[in-house]
Every structure is written in structure tokens, then in C-alpha cells.
Amino acid sequence: MDAYAPTTCLLLQELLHHEEHEPIPEAKRFLKLLKAGERPLYEGCEMSLLKAVARLTNLKCEYNLPSRAVDGTTSFMKEICLNNNDMASNYYEVKKLLAGLELPHRKIDVWPNRCMLFWKEVDGLDRCSICDQGR
């Protein structure tokens, strides 16, 4: 996190409180993300809640973990952290927190030998152009 985040967060809070109308949902999500980026997992911890759940989501994608595995991991992390911690309890809470980022993503299948991706112009091929193996 950069040095401007606390100031930005305070400015956003002031804007949200001085509005006559309810703030737009995007502003609320962004403010929630800023707060999660500033808040440590527990008192004295250097890792923020946002960094922890972003890293956990990255591991889920990198190793193709099912949601139930992330549920188990988050509940385990919550148990091993100090009692007064802010760790998400399950994958649903992780997704809710990260929803403000609205990162586009698409799952791309890989050839069995991991030599090609099923993507763009080769998405419809039945045989790999590198190893000549069929789907």
C-alpha cells in the first residue's frame, strides 16, 4: 500500500458523509477495499486483510482449488490467527470483499500435455499442433 491510501480513505469518507444522497455502490465497494487494505489481520500483524484474501484467491486460481478447499483454508487461518482477527470465515466472504476490484477473468483449458492452450484460433482444434495428441 502506498503512503496516500490513508489520506485517500479519509477524503472518501468525508465525501460519503457530506453527500445528501446515498453514495453509488461503486464508491461504497472502493471504500470497503481501502479499509481492508489498511486493516491488519490482527493487532500487530503486518499483513492486511485485503492482501491475505487476494493471496488466497490467487492460490485458488493457480492450483485450481475447489471452493470447499478455500472454505476449509479460511476457517483454518481464522483459527490459527489470534482470537481478535478479521480473517474471512469462508470463500463467500472472500469473494464479497474482492468484488470491489471487478477483475475480469476467464478460465482457459490446457492441452493434456500442457503444450498448448485451448484459446483463440486453436480453441476448436481436435489435435495439438505441437505433440499431435487428440483432445
Q: List the chain pLDDT tens, one digit each, 135 residues.
A: 445 455 556 666 665 565 566 778 777 878 888 888 888 988 899 999 999 999 999 999 899 999 999 999 999 999 998 888 999 999 999 988 888 777 666 777 777 788 888 778 888 888 888 888 877
Domain boundaries, the chain: 5-104, 106-135
Distances (CA, A) of 32 to 25, 42, 57, 113: 11, 17, 18, 42
* 48, 57 contact by CB (below 8 A): no
The pTM assigned to this predicted structure is 0.60
d(CA 108, CA 128): 15
